[in-house]
Amino acid sequence: MKKTVRVFKFGGASLKDPEAIKNVANILWPYKNEKLVIVVSAMGKATNALETVVEAHAARNGKAFDILNGIKNQHYQIMDSLFDKDDEVYALVNDAFVEVEWVLEEEPHENYDYMYDQIVCIGEVVSSKIVHAYLNKTGLASQWLDARDVILTDDIFREGWVQWDETVERAEAKALPMLDLPGFIITQGFIGSTTENFTTTLGREGSDYTAAIFSYCLDAQDMTIWKDVPGVLTADPRVFENVVKLDRLSYKEAIEMTYYGAKVIHPKTIKPLQNKSIPLYVKSFVNPDGEGTLISDEVDDTYPPMVAVESNQVLLQISTRDFSFVAEHHISYLFNIIAEFRLQVNMMQNSAISFSLCINDVDDKADRFAQRINDKFKVMLDRGLELITVRHYQDELLNNLRRGKIVLLEERIRDATVQMVVKDVPLIRRRQNVAAS
């Protein structure tokens, strides 16, 4: 029999320093007597910093230990503000870092993505240990749960796919009994494990998704993600002016926006919630009493125009080497390899002699893909592009967005969405005649 549980997720920004962690505890106080599963990300930008440890270790440039020590010190500084010197949390956090030191003492692993996951996971592990210890210290009883004991993935490192049946079983076996104990459950976002107990990660920014996995498995009453914005806005406030908060959104609308790059929620988050009609609240940790945004089953309303911009896109123009048309069998061949590489295709277009794909330019994936199909296809790559998605567009807004840009690909999907892949117009300056006439 399932219990009434709510799931909260706190991201890096909400845990970036001692004051932020105290603020999280304040947010949690009113829920003291409720059953909460709290999913936390790595603190601040710890994951980015850990990525540089992995890069340094792979490059054997001798800097990996120094970078790791810097990260360790940042965590110790935060702990020094929250705990007495003899608190047992120091030993727990130290033990976690020692595991990474062991990895660094070995030769770099030949599988970069495997090595990445074994190192980068530590950000969430130490963050959850610190938050767990701090909540207990302030009188908010909580249990620490290793998310890797619950979330089972396949063994594609850095992009583990959740094995849902086993994960549900493991959640019922591990997490459900913990709900009978007093206090909250604290666990980590972003990480899972393979059947051989190797740590995997779910893809960058994956902690929102973890919270949705727990919500699904435990039939949560609702889920709340606490962000540095008042809720879901019509566009990223770091990029656009005059954005407004959306009070309510349908799952469908939220899926469309996040899939195409509205960074406020990880794109995989909504579907598990939609499947069980679990409401999702996006709220501000800066103003926790604010109403936020509610994402739920409600019928589609009318929405204002919304814009999502995904940068770091690469356009691949693929044509056959023998100048034949790009026919069905070519496309089927290409799709198989796209699946093998787990490329997220953001846009595609087919003409008689070429097939265009717009994908996220992650690591050297695009080059490896081009290399893989090189014997049959010629591939031209155009990098440094932006994918702009506009929902509920107005022509004036589209014209504004196109200003100063070259549009390489554009598509209208039914009457609600316009997508375009753009690059900046190169600055052409007139040669000045400096010689005095």
Q: Which residues bind ligand ASP (CB under 6 A)?
A: 11-12, 41-42, 47, 123, 189-190, 204-207
Q: Hey, is 266 helix, strand or coil?
A: coil
Stretch that binds Mg ion, among 19-27, 69-77, 189-197, 201-209 (CB under 5 A): 201-209
Q: Which does 206 bind (CB under 5 to 8 A by kind): ligand ASP, Mg ion, ligand ADP, none?
A: ligand ASP
Name 117's Cβ contacts closer than 8 Å, sequence gap at least 6.
157, 158, 191, 198, 199, 200, 201
- In angstroms, give the least distance from the CB of 40 to Mg ion: 11
Which residues contact ligand ADP (rule: CB under 6 A)?
A: 11-14, 41, 205, 227-229, 232-233, 235-238, 262-264
Q: Does 230 bind Mg ion (CB under 5 A)?
A: no
Residue 396: Cβ-neighbour burial (10 angstroms; 0-12, 13-18, 19+): exposed
CB of 325 to ligand ADP, least distance (A): 40
CB of 199 to ligand ADP, least distance (A): 20
From the list ligand ASP, Mg ion, ligand ADP, none, partner contacted by residue 227 (C-beta under 5 to 8 A by kind): ligand ADP
**At which residue do the structure tokens 């890069």 appear?**
55
Least distance between ligand ADP and beta carbon 258 (Å) = 9
Nearest to 160 by CA among 209, 98, 103, 94: 209
Name which position in 117, 124, 205, 310 contacts Mg ion (CB under 5 A): 205
Longest dimension (CA), the chain: 91
Instruction: Give the shortest CB-48-to-Mg ion separation in angstroms.
Output: 10
- Provide the minimum distance between the beta carbon of 263 and ligand ASP in the complex, in angstroms, as a whole number: 11
Q: Least separation, in Å, of the C-beta of 203 and ligand ADP?
A: 13
Radius of gyration (Cα) for the chain, nearest Å?
A: 24
Closer CB to Mg ion, residue 11 or residue 160?
11
Q: What does 190 bind: Mg ion, ligand ADP, ligand ASP, none (CB cut-off 5 to 8 Å by kind)?
A: ligand ASP
Which of 5, 9, 11, 100 lies at the binding interface for Mg ion (CB under 5 A)?
11
DSSP category for residue 44:
T
Choice between 213 and 357, CB closer to ligand ASP? 213
Does residue 380 contact residue 367 with C-beta atoms inside 8 Å?
A: no
- Closer by beta carbon to ligand ADP, 168 or else 233: 233
- Of 47 and 224, which CB lies nearer to ligand ASP in the complex structure? 47
Residue nearer to ligand ADP on the CB measure, 151 or 235 = 235
Out of Mg ion, ligand ADP, ligand ASP, none, which partner does residue 178 contact, by CB within 5 to 8 A per kind?
none
**Pairing outcome for strands 417-424 and 142-144:** unpaired
Contacts of 224 (CB under 8 A, 6+ apart): 6, 7, 8, 9, 280, 281, 282, 283, 292
Q: Report residue 285 as tokens.
A: 């940790």
**Residue 320 CA, distance from chain mean position:** 35
Half-sphere exposure of 130 (CA within 13 A, CB side): 35
d(CA 88, CA 111): 35
Binding footprint of Mg ion on the chain (CB under 5 A): 11, 205
